[in-house]
Structure formats: C-alpha cells, structure tokens
Structure 1
C-alpha cells in the first residue's frame, strides 16, 4: 500500500465491504483520488438504488460512478470498476 501509515486494521473476512468503506475512501484519498459515497433519500423513498459512489482524479483517467440499493452492492460495483481502471484497492 502506498502511503500506509500503519493504521490499517486486520479485515474480518466474515464481514462485508460496508465495514471498510471509510478505510477505502481514506486509502483512495492517499492515492490522490477524490471519492465520495452518499445516500439519496428521495431515491430511497422511491425504492430506487439510493447509494452512490463517485471518484475522480489521481491515477483515474476518467471519473467514475457506481450505484446500488445497499452500501454493499454499491461498493462492490465501485471496487470492480476501480480495479478495472488499474487501482488495486487493498480490501
């Protein structure tokens, strides 16, 4: 990991990606990537995919966005897209 400051906890393999989402955001920031995750209350009320992850900058050639009905679904799609873009997120 680039910029590892020795603060990464051991990951519990039985828990989902939603448990490490903030660590992922922090790691992306250390790589120069601007990233955000949000929930949209209106989309939630409409039973639409309410969670959105967006990232740009740093080593990402183009900005990206991933949506999901749950944090886990959203972040799973986002991690796959980040890996396809050449960022090997260590989670």
Structure 2
C-alpha cells in the first residue's frame, strides 16, 4: 500500500481497464519497469483477493504491489499506485 494509511484507493468499475492490460505492460517495459499480473488459484479457492500486480525497476524507487479480487480491481489500484510513484501511465 501507499501513503494512504492502509486504505485502498477507489476504483472505477466502468473503466474497461482489462482491455488495456497488454498495452500497459508493454508501455511499462518500454520505460524500464518490469511488471506482471497474476492470479493465484489457491487464493481463488479460499475466496481471498487472488489477483496481484507487481512492478519494479526503471523510474520506480521501490517495488510496487497491488492486489484485488478481480483483474479490474487489481489493475485499477496498480495504476493509482504507479501514478503516486511518479509513473503516469497514459491509459
């Protein structure tokens, strides 16, 4: 989490972020940021937030991680965290 004291940022449920996943990952790679998104089947079974976005390197001063119950939730949080870290993803 970021400086928001443990509160997760609000997300836009109609953003369509899932459609931009590959362009976002490609853009991050072009900026020198290594990034991935994954789903953990064990966490799905346990009904826990199963999606994880992780990124590091390039302009990021420290690794970043965002979790969510859906891919959309996870990526929306990741974009907020990236922007807070000074990486303004153009999507």
Higher relative contact order (CA 8 A, sep 6+): 2
**Count of aligned pairs between the two proteins:** 78
Q: Determine the C-alpha separation between the residues in 2 that align with 1:48 and 1:22.
A: 25
What stretches of structure 1 move > 6 A for 4+ residues in a row?
A: none
- In the TM superposition, what are the counterparts of 1:6-85 in structure 2 within 5 Å? 16-85=16-85
Q: Determine the C-alpha separation between the residues in 2 that align with 1:48 and 1:71.
A: 13
Tell me: CA distance 1:15–1:66, structure 2 relative to 1, closer, same or farther (3 Å).
Answer: closer
Secondary structure of the residue aligned to 2:20 is: helix
TM-score, normalised by the number of residues in structure 1: 0.83
Is there any run of 5+ residues in structure 1 with no aligned partner, and where? 1-13
Q: Determine the C-alpha separation between the residues in 1 that align with 2:85 and 2:62.
A: 9
How far did 1:15 drift?
A: 5.6
Is there any run of 5+ residues in structure 2 with no aligned partner, and where? 1-13
TM-score, normalised by the number of residues in structure 2: 0.83
Structure with the greater alpha carbon radius of gyration: 1
Tell me: CA distance 1:83–1:15, structure 2 relative to 1, closer, same or farther (3 Å).
Answer: closer
User: Paired residue for 1:3?
Assistant: none
Q: Determine the C-alpha separation between the residues in 1 that align with 2:69 and 2:18.
A: 13
